[in-house]
Each structure stands twice: as C-alpha cells, then as structure tokens.
Chains A and B, each alone.
Chain A
Amino acid sequence: MENREVAILLRGITKSFGDVTANSNVNLDVYKGEILSLLGENGSGKTTLMNMLAGIYYPDAGQIIINGKEAVIRSPRDAFDLGIGMVHQHFKLIDVFNATENIILGLEGKLNIKEAEKRIKEICDKYGFEINTKKKIYDMSVSEKQTVEIVKVLYRGADILILDEPTAVLTPQETEKLFNVMRNMKHDGKSIVIITHKLNEVQSISDRVAVLRHGEFINDMKTSKTNAQEMTDMMVGHSVSLNIERPEPVDPKPRITVENLTVVDEEGLVKLDDVSFTANTGEILGIAGISGCGQKELLRAIAGLEIVKEGKITYIHQDGRTEELLGKSPREISELGVKLSFVPEDRLGMGLVGNMNLADNMMLRSYRNGKSRFFTEKKQPRELARKVVDKLQVATPSIDTPVRLLSGGNVQKVLVGREISSRPKVLLTAYAVRGLDISSSYQIYDLINQQKKRGAAVLFVGEDLDVLVELCDRILVLCGGKVTGIVDGRNTDKYTLGSMMTQKGEA
C-alpha cells in the first residue's frame, strides 16, 4: 500500500459466543479517507468484528490500534471518544423521540435543543443530507431513519464510520443518494467501512475490499483490481457459478386458479383489487412489485390466513377434481389433501419460533402426527432436523440450539428445509433470499428449482428484479393491489418490469 495514514489496525482479534467462534485471529487495516467494503457471507463475522470497534462486544483476544495508539473499547462511549461511530443494521433509535432528541442522546452538557438543531443543520448542509429535526422516528421512512443514524454519528465528531448493510432496505434512488453522501464524507478525510453483500455496490462505492470467511480474514485488495467472480470465490471458498438455472417447465398444468380476488384491510384500504391468474405445475411464477403492493396479502390469502372480501381460489388436484380454498383455515386446507407450503417473509415471527430449537421447530408442521393423542412424537422431527442440517449445510452447533441464535441465512435454510420436506404441491415463498449472502441465495434458488422439477407450482415473491428475470418462467406484476401484467420471464428485462411496477390503474 502507498503511504497513507492508518486509521484502524486490528491484530489477532478473536471473539466467541459460547461454542460458536465468530471471529478468529482477524487482522484488518483501514486507512484515512477511504471507503472499505467488508465482504463476507452470513455468519462470517463481519458484524461481530465491527461491533467490537463500536464497543458493543468486547474481544476475547487481540489488539485494536486506533490512529497509532492501542485502544481498549469497553463501551459505545469509549468508541465515540475514539471517533468511531457505527450505524447498525437494525437502527438504534428511540421511536417516540424526534430526530434531534435521538441525535443528541447520550451527550453531556446542558440540554439546548435550538443549538443542537443548528449544528445538525450545519452537518446536513456540509454533506448533503436532508432531515426534518422535529419529525418523530415512528413517522419516518427507513431511509430517513438511516439519515438520522448517520447524522447522529457525525454529530459526535466521528472520523471512522461503520455502516452495517446500509442499502439492504433502500430503494435504488435512496442508495444513490447515500453513496453521494458517503463520497462527500470520504473527501472530508473520513474513513468509512461498509458491510454489504451486494457486489455491484462494492464496485461502485469502495476503494478497497476486505473479505472474511467463517470468521477469518481471507484477503484484501483494491476494488479496481478485482471482479465479482473473484470476490465471490473468496467469500465462499470455492468456485461458484453466478448464473441461475432455469429448466424448462415439464408438462405444465393449472394447479391453482385465482379469480377476481379482492382483499380489504381493517382500515378499509384495498390491498388486492380484482386479481386473477393461474399458477401451473412445474413452473415458477414470479411476483414483482414495490413492497406493500399486495404481495403479502396474496400469499396469505392462498394459505388461508387472510380475510377475503370476494373472489375465488380454486385448487386443481392431479386427477382434475377441484377444491375451493377460500374461507378455509390452513388446517382445513391441509385436511383436504392440498399440500401447501408457505415460507413467509417474517421468518422468526410467522415461520419459526426463535426460542425453540431446530427439532421443535420441525414439529410446528407435524405436531398432530404420532400415535398418542397426549404425548408428542419427537423422533421424526429430530430426524428431519438432522436431515435438513446435513443436506442444506446449516451452520449450527446442534439441533438442540434455539433458532434465534443462528444467523439469518441459516434460519432461512431451516425454514425452507422444513417447508419442502413435506413435498408440497404448491410452494409459496416471500422474499426467500432477503438478507442472505450469495452462496445461501443460490442454494435457496436451487432448492426452489428442485421443487419446480418435482412438479410443484411455485409462487416466488421477490424484490431483486435481476433474479426474477433469471429464475422465473412467468412474472406477475402487482401495482397498488392490481395486476398490471403477466409477462414471460424469458422475453423480458428488468426495465420493463420496473415500469410495469409503477404504472397505476391500467391492466
């Protein structure tokens, strides 16, 4: 490296939680006035490593050297004093406070809101933020909250900023805005570490990239001297194909027809408006749309979890018999012999119970099985849990570990593994790869494709348009609860989808 000043030196950092080693012997350098991307799969220890800089965790071993001096960071306050500020993935803001109150939280001295607002404005002007200081956090969009978090860090005079997956929740426009701000901060001499999965963002924003794998430091390099394939291989540890497979559907036959489905929520808002389509066997039907356009309600309606105003949802058996699903509970649906599997977007809320272990979570699907009406049958769920762990390579100490202790990708694997183990005829997935790293995502795509080849009808609600275009046979586009079109995945591109997602009213 050229002679630039070093902001952070990490040497031999090790941290473990119980039996799980999150970081082992990590060395990392961050220079002044640069943007460093920290790249790694889920559970590779990126966030843990950065949390040790922010004072949330304390390392078991190793040295942290900040601006040439060895530092001991025991609390977030120590981190501020060293000029380190972290914007966490799950924002650390108080909902009922307004922006100013959140920004000055934890600081000493007399409370002077006017003065604080003035300084906030100066910071905003300097770097190009927009912020309404009086607005309460609970009224804010995700992007506004993020702005508050970043200003909060800058207000404390941080020279080293750590951003944990800042773009995961932003629209492309908001991301671009954030990147502009980050560039402004870099020119101001600040060091920025950005944790991310998205390779295109790594390439567009960072100067250098460092890769972690299984808690160990693998390599760092200049972003300009590497490419997506090389970075992926380093992250995963072996060569990964970056193409999504799309086998031709075999003998597609209608499996579920939805006719004139209308859903109105408690507050009287129309969530789904006259939606009609057919899902075929052996086919992946993608569902695209800006978030909150009725995707969730559509899947929930099919799964029997939504109160529907009008419409029909018909299931067609192998032998041509039909079954009306509307108005039936999930249990009634499964008793009809309709094999539905649902991978909801809210994994630890609707899909799994965080405090229960892997085996018990498997039982959520099979608790009615077994010989005794009184005692539970534990043997089969335990076998299934073992099978899922083996087949999908779930990183877990044991099948007796509570699911909430697993990382996001592994939680998703447990959920998907359980849902497909019942060999479903219909597989509903909502944002199946949200928050997952590259290799986990590809494993999930593979699993979905396997179900498709088996002849299941797959409904795939997705947000990444590139993936939808590559993976799905047909794509249904929702806009404000209305279907704005169903297109063939082979002859479309993301720009067409993008414009369909925003056209209101015309079907």
Chain B
Amino acid sequence: MFSLVAFIPRAVQQGVPLLLGSTGETITEKSGNLNLGIPGVMYVGAISGVIGSFFYEQSVPSGQLNGFLAIFIPLICALIGSFLMGLLYCFLTVSLRANQNVTGLAMTTFGIGFGNFFGGSLIKLAGADVPSISLSATSAYFSKSLPFASKTGWFGKVFLSYGFLAYVAIIIALICAYVLKKTRVGLHLRAVGEDPAAADAAGIDVKKYKYVSTCLGCMIAGLGGLYYVMDYACGVWSNDAFGDRGWLAIALVIFTIWKPDIGILSSILFGGLYILYLYLPSGTHTEYKELYKMIPYIVTLVVLVITSMRNKKEDQPPKSLGTNYFREER
C-alpha cells in the first residue's frame, strides 16, 4: 500500500544530496563558472569522508567512538577533499582560462576514478568478503534524529526523522538564497556571472569572487556526497553506488532557475521522482522501471522549454555562464 507518510521521508532522504549539490552548483554558476565536475566533486566529498571515518574507526577500539570526533573528522575530510577539487577547477579555468566544459567533465571522470580507487583500497584494507565497507558506527552519529521524533507520530516522521545534515542542507540553501538576493556580496556575485567585464569596471574583484564561490560551492556539494554515504546509505560505501545523483543535481539547478530557496522543495520533488519507479506498478516488466527513472530528467527538459518560452530575462542562466574572463582581451 502506498503511504504518503512513508514516502515523504524517503523522498527527502533522496533529495538532500541533490539539494546540497544543486545549492553548491547554483552559487558556482552565479559566478559564471559552469562546473560540470560536480558529480566528481560529490564523489570525492563522499570518499574523503569515508577515508577519514575509516581510519578513525580503525584507530579506536570498537564501541568507544567519541561522538564529536566521529562527526567532525569525516566532515572536515569531506570539506577539504571537495575544496581541493574546487581549487583545481578554479586554477584551471580562472587562472589558466582552460575551457570550462572540458575541465568539468575531466574532473567528473577524475573524481569518480579517485573515489573508486580509494574505495577499492579501503575495501582491501578492511579485508571484508563483500565489495563494500561498512561504517555503521559513524553512520549512527550522522543519522541520529531528535530523541522525541519517534514519539510525535506522522509529524515526527515527516519533519523530524532526519540526520542533522538534512537540516544543515536546508539552512545552507536559505542562507545562499538570502545572500544572493539581499546582500552586496550577492549583488556582486550575480554581476560577475552576468557580465564580468561590467563587474570588473565597477571595481569588483572578479577572480576573487569566482574562486571563493566555486570553492564554497564545491564544499557544499561535497557535503551532499557525505550525506549520501553516511546517512542515506547507512555508512556503507561501495564503488559506483552514488550513481547519477551528481548530474541530477546539475539538472536541479536549471529546474530551480538558479534559486537555492526553490531548491528545497524541488529537491524533495526530484528525490520523490527519482524513487517513484519503486512505487509505480510495473509488474514483471522491469524495463518500465528504467523508463520511470527518466522522469526527473524529462521534468527538467520541460522546465527548460517553459523558461525559454516565457523568455523572462531574470529566469535565464547567468549570461556569461561557461565563458572565462580576461580583462585585457581585445
């Protein structure tokens, strides 16, 4: 039987990595950088967290994990890993002015390879007989919900049953939306993405804005990877399990017309659409399931068609998206 109270939490859990990924990508794109490396960045964020927590779990006797460190170490590792990815992307595209699409795609390939390589190494180290590592002790801290959540019935299930990163994701999205809309920093960032030459002439440090927003965006996206493995997947890392969520996060950026606050509900919608195939009757025809998995992408295409038909200037991608800026170019 289909139950909404059971469905919504699952959709939210699917949606959180997408929300973090798309929020990160949105503020990156607002600076004019089209970072197609986001899937790789999220992958690196996830594996970095896994590496950190793996070695922490190994170094202390089981059952004696310090709650703070169990969260802090993977968190910092994920942030550093994805930050370095962002730095690499900026160095290539902003400082060296390499083509953004090529750089991004290369980084996705690199990130997935990086993740699978170290994932594989850890699996060997752990010496497990299944091709995965289980970090259930760490995961327990990540997915811990409020103690009274289970006592509040359907309300607790729908709103309170998630690990802290889910709420962090929503807060980050709200902060990003506020900064973009209401503050000077947001105004400057949007200007850089629209027309870097105009922003430069107005005295804005274009390079700084591109670097900071892209690296910050990557760190936020990296958290998405961390959430996926530590909370959603219950601390189980297996190679390639992350799937195409990174691409879905990029699609979500278009779906939300570059607005992180719209991203909150849209990511849950996308999360729901992503797992809808489990609920739709397909009988013995498993190929239908594959068709249902296309739904989020089709919805994105529809949104693209609608926004370009409405042709409202504010809903278009940042004008200089995908192009590099060089002040003395003639």
List residues of chain A with CB within 8 A of the CB of B188.
105-106
5 interchain pairs, CB-CB under 8 A: A92-B197, A94-B198, A96-B316, A105-B198, A136-B313
A57 to B201, CA, bound (A): 11
Known A96-B313, A96-B314, A405-B330; judge A77-B195 contact (CB<8 A).
Answer: no
Stretch of A108-116, A190-198, A488-496 that contacts chain B: A108-116
User: B interface, how many residues as a size bin?
Assistant: 20 to 34
Stretch of B39-47, B179-187, B212-220 that contacts chain A: B179-187
The answer to whether A76 touches B202 (Cβ under 8 A) is: yes
List residues of chain B with CB within 8 A of the CB of A108.
184
List residues of chain B with CB within 8 A of the CB of A97.
187, 190-191, 194
CB-nearest residue of chain B to A15 = B328
- Residue interface bits A76-89, CB-to-B below 8 A is 1, else 0: 11001000001010
A421 to B109, CA, bound (A): 51
A54 within 8 Å of B (CB atoms): yes
List residues of chain B with CB within 8 A of the CB of A102.
202
- The B159-192 residues at the A interface (CB cut-off 8 A) are 182-184, 187-188, 190-191
List residues of chain A with CB within 8 A of the CB of B184.
104, 107-111
A77 to B206, CA, bound (A): 12
A95 within 8 Å of B (CB atoms): yes
The answer to whether B328 touches A94 (Cβ under 8 A) is: no
CB-nearest residue of chain B to A404 = B330
B312 to chain A, nearest CB (A): 10
List residues of chain B with CB within 8 A of the CB of A405.
330
The answer to whether B198 touches A93 (Cβ under 8 A) is: yes
Which chain A residues have a beta carbon within 8 Å of chain B's beta carbons?
17, 54, 56-58, 75-77, 80, 86, 88, 91-97, 101-102, 104-111, 136, 138, 152, 404-405
List residues of chain A with CB within 8 A of the CB of B194.
94-97
Determine chain B's interface SS by DSSP, over half rule. helix
CB-nearest residue of chain A to B201 = A92
The answer to whether B203 touches A111 (Cβ under 8 A) is: no
List residues of chain B with CB within 8 A of the CB of A94.
190-191, 194-195, 198-199
The answer to whether A77 touches B182 (Cβ under 8 A) is: no
A239 to chain B, nearest CB (A): 32
B151 within 8 Å of A (CB atoms): no
- Residue interface bits B292-330, CB-to-A below 8 A is 1, else 0: 000000000000000000000110100100000001101
List residues of chain B with CB within 8 A of the CB of A109.
184
List residues of chain A with CB within 8 A of the CB of B204.
105-106
Known A56-B327, A95-B313; judge A111-B182 contact (CB<8 A).
Answer: yes
Contact of B195 among A17, A57, A92, A101 (CB under 8 A): A92
The answer to whether B202 touches A106 (Cβ under 8 A) is: yes
The answer to whether A92 touches B182 (Cβ under 8 A) is: no
Q: Which 8 A-B pairs have the closest CB atoms?
A: A106-B202, A92-B198, A77-B203, A106-B203, A92-B201, A105-B202, A111-B184, A106-B204
The answer to whether A76 touches B319 (Cβ under 8 A) is: no
B49 to chain A, nearest CB (A): 36
- The B18-72 residues at the A interface (CB cut-off 8 A) are none
The answer to whether A56 touches B314 (Cβ under 8 A) is: no
The answer to whether A105 touches B313 (Cβ under 8 A) is: no
Contact of A76 among B195, B203, B313 (CB under 8 A): B203
In the complex, which of the residues A56, A95, A105, A110 has the most CB atoms of chain B within 10 Å of its own CB atom? A105
Contact of B313 among A58, A104, A138 (CB under 8 A): A138
Contact of A105 among B199, B314, B328, B330 (CB under 8 A): B199
Known A92-B197, A93-B198, A95-B194; judge A111-B183 contact (CB<8 A).
Answer: yes
List residues of chain A with CB within 8 A of the CB of B191.
94, 97, 105-106
Contact of A106 among B190, B199, B313, B316 (CB under 8 A): B199
List residues of chain B with CB within 8 A of the CB of A104.
184, 187
A110 to B200, CA, bound (A): 20
CB-nearest residue of chain B to A407 = B330
List residues of chain B with CB within 8 A of the CB of A77.
203, 205
The answer to whether B319 touches A17 (Cβ under 8 A) is: no
In the complex, which of the residues A17, A76, A94, A107 has the most CB atoms of chain B within 10 Å of its own CB atom? A94
List residues of chain B with CB within 8 A of the CB of A93.
195, 198
B285 to chain A, nearest CB (A): 45
A sample of 7 more A-B contacts (CB under 8 A), given A56-B200, A86-B201, A106-B191, is A57-B328, A76-B201, A91-B198, A92-B198, A96-B194, A105-B199, A152-B202
A56 to B188, CA, bound (A): 18
B85 to chain A, nearest CB (A): 29
CB-nearest residue of chain A to B197 = A92
A278 to chain B, nearest CB (A): 41
CB-nearest residue of chain B to A88 = B201
The answer to whether B203 touches A80 (Cβ under 8 A) is: yes
B210 to chain A, nearest CB (A): 15
CB-nearest residue of chain B to A79 = B203
